[in-house]
């Protein structure tokens, strides 16, 4: 029997042992017989290489962690001596590192609780860095930059929460975006401009309602579509909520409330009907 035939036979015997087609003892006997102990020695060498690789990785990780701790300690001690822009740049490394860790951990299909904690820490640290950046750079008086920074933060929250399927972070991102949009609307159209507020919030409510219906077509985004549906209802009533919050009286408000209440009932009836029909179709297809 030449070397090629012997190698083919050895690979077949390994398949028999792996699939338990014949007893393991017989497979080991045949492997020793045809490989003259070479199979065991090669497996031992492979295990030895894996062990050495594992030790090397552990040593490299230990060195990296040690250097990282030393670097963080040095930056913390000398932090006040650095200019504000560099301070923000260094602080930004924390959420970047946490988001990278979250992405890597997600790709390994790891523990969902740890993944949620990593994502929560990353999101919180990003918001803190944005707030510190506004404070250190003294941007409190610049509303445009403030709104832009926090919109960016909440959009990152939104994108990551959709990808990771974390509903609580998704709700928090929508709440943050809603607050910023409300602040922008009050800055642009004013608190007492009731008609302009209606023209701003009602179309936005209908857009969110359409997005809710579109996302409801997939079972993967079912929970998020329901959250968006509720959000569209809230947006519909933001002008009236603002009137109550700022204690502003308006002539003819009861008639407006009656009209909007009627429209709201029609929207609820239509949207729930479409959601129920969509869900029943998905169940039938499944």
| 41, 45, 47, 51: CA torsion to nearest 10 | 150
Residue 208 burial (C-beta neighbours within 10 Å; 0-12, 13-18, 19+): buried
Q: Please state the separation of Cα 273 from the chain's center in Å.
A: 30
Rounded CA-CA distance 35/56 in Å is 31
Taking residues 262-285, what's their average pLDDT?
74
pLDDT band for position 152 (cuts 50, 70, 90): very high
pLDDT band for position 274 (cuts 50, 70, 90): confident
At residue 43, the 3 state secondary structure works out as helix
Report pLDDT digits (tens) over 100-119.
988 888 887 667 888 888 89
pLDDT band for position 157 (cuts 50, 70, 90): very high
pLDDT band for position 156 (cuts 50, 70, 90): very high
Is pLDDT larger for residue 88 or for residue 118? 118
Report pLDDT digits (tens) over 117-149.
889 989 998 998 888 888 877 787 788 888 888
| 153, 154, 159, 165: CA torsion to nearest 10 | 120
Rounded CA-CA distance 234/247 in Å is 19
Query: What single-letter DSSP state applies at residue 166?
Result: -
Helix axes 238-245, 222-236, angle to 10 degrees: 50
> Among residues 221, 240, 231, 225, which one has the least CA distance to residue 274?
225
- The alpha-carbon radius of gyration of the chain (Å, integer) is 31
Neighbours of 171 (CB within 10 A): 17
Report pLDDT digits (tens) over 23-62.
777 777 777 776 654 544 455 555 555 566 667 777 877 7
Tokens standing for residue 26: 């017989």
By the 8 A CB rule, do 232 and 170 touch? no
């Amino acid at each position: 029997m030449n070397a090629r035939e012997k190698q083919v036979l050895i690979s077949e015997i390994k398949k028999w042992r792996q699939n338990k087609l014949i007893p393991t003892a017989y497979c080991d006997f045949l492997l020793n017989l045809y490989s003259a102990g070479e199979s065991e020695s090669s497996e031992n060498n492979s295990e030895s290489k894996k062990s050495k690789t594992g030790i090397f990785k552990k040593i490299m990780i230990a060195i990296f962690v040690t250097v990282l701790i030393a670097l963080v300690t040095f930056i913390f001690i000398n932090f006040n001596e650095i200019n504000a822009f560099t301070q923000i740049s260094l602080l930004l490394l924390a959420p970047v590192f946490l988001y990278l860790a979250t992405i890597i951990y997600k790709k390994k299909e790891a523990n969902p609780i740890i993944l949620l904690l990593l994502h929560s820490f990353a999101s919180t640290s990003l918001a803190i860095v944005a707030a510190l950046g506004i404070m250190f750079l003294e941007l409190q008086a610049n509303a445009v930059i403030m709104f832009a920074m926090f919109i960016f933060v909440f959009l990152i929250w939104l994108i990551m929460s959709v990808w990771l399927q974390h509903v609580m972070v998704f709700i928090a991102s929508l709440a943050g975006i809603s607050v910023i949009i409300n602040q922008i609307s009050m800055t642009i159209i004013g608190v007492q401009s009731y008609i302009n507020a209606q023209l701003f919030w009602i179309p936005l409510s209908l857009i969110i309602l359409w997005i809710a219906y579109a996302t409801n077509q997939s079972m993967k985004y079912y929970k998020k579509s329901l959250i968006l549906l509720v959000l569209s209802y809230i947006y519909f009533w933001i002008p009236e909520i603002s009137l109550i919050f700022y204690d502003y009286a308006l002539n003819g408000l009861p008639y407006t409330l009656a009209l909007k209440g009627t429209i709201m009932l029609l929207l609820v009836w239509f949207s729930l009907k479409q959601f129920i029909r969509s869900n029943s179709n998905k169940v039938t297809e499944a």
